[in-house]
Amino acid sequence: MVGRAQLDGLVVLYTYLQRISVYDRVIDGLGAGRRDDGWSGPLGEVGAIIGRFDRGTRLDAAEVAHLLDILDTVRAAMRRRRPDPDASLPERLAVVAGDLHGGLHHSEGVVRWGEIYDAAAARRHRQRAVAHRGLVNTVNEYVARAGAGGVLGAEELARIDAWFTKVCTGSPGIERDLRRAGEALRGQGGGRSVC
C-alpha cells in the first residue's frame, strides 16, 4: 500500500511541475514575463522515479525528504502563479496551457499507476489522455499563433476565457491536491487518494 500511495503522490507532483514549466515557457514565449529555467531538474528527477517504479518500489526516507522539498517549491510557485481574473491574454494562455498540459500528464501518470496497480484505471485514463492531447494541441496552436503576432478570433478567445474561468474556479483545490500529494509521498493513504 505504501508504494501505491507514493506513486500517486509522484504523479500529482509531476503534474504540477509540468503545469508550472509550461506556464513559464508560454509567458516567456509571449514576452509577458521571464521564464524560470529551474524546473527541468525536478521534472527529470520525478519523471525518472516514476519511470522506474514497479510493484515492489518504496521510496526511502532521503528520497521522500527530497521530494517533499520539491513539493514545497511547487506549492510556493503555484501561489505565485495563482490566476488573476483580470489577467492579460498572454497570462490567460499561460494559465490554460499549463493546466491542460498538467491534465495530460496527470492522465498519463494515472495510466502508469494503473499499469502497476489497477488495469481498469489505466484503461479509463488512456481515454482521458487522448481527449487531453486534443485540447493540448488546440491550446498549443493558439499560443503559437499569438506568439507569431497572429490574431485569435472571437470564438477562440471565448474558448480561452471558458477554460480560464474553469481553472480559476478549480484554483482553491490546488492546496488540497498538494497537501494530499505530500501525505501520499510519505506513504499515508492507500493510493489513488489524489489521482
What pLDDT, on the 0 to 100 scale, is given for residue 32? 77
Nearest to 87 by CA among 141, 23, 16, 151: 23
- The H-or-E segment that residue 138 falls in is helix 119-147
What pLDDT, on the 0 to 100 scale, is given for residue 142? 97
pLDDT in tens, 99-141: 999 999 999 999 999 999 999 999 999 999 999 999 999 999 9
The pTM of this model reads: 0.92
Average pLDDT, the chain: 92
**pLDDT range class, residue 190, cuts 50, 70, 90:** low
What pLDDT, on the 0 to 100 scale, is given for residue 33? 73
**pLDDT range class, residue 155, cuts 50, 70, 90:** very high
pLDDT in tens, 25-79: 999 999 877 766 689 899 999 999 999 999 999 999 999 999 999 999 999 999 9
Burial class of residue 94 in the structure, from the number of CB atoms within 10 Å of its CB (0-12 exposed, 13-18 middle, 19+ buried): buried
CA distance 126 to 143: 25
Measured CA distances, 75 to 16, 20, 96, 195 (Å): 9, 10, 18, 17
What pLDDT, on the 0 to 100 scale, is given for residue 193? 47
Mean pLDDT of 152-181: 94
pLDDT at residue 177 is higher than 90 = yes
CA distance 181 to 12: 6
pLDDT in tens, 5-35: 999 999 999 999 999 999 999 999 998 777 6
Would you give the DSSP letter of residue 151? P
Helix (H, G, I), strand (E, B) or coil at 180: helix
Phi, psi of 158 (to 5 degrees): -65, -40
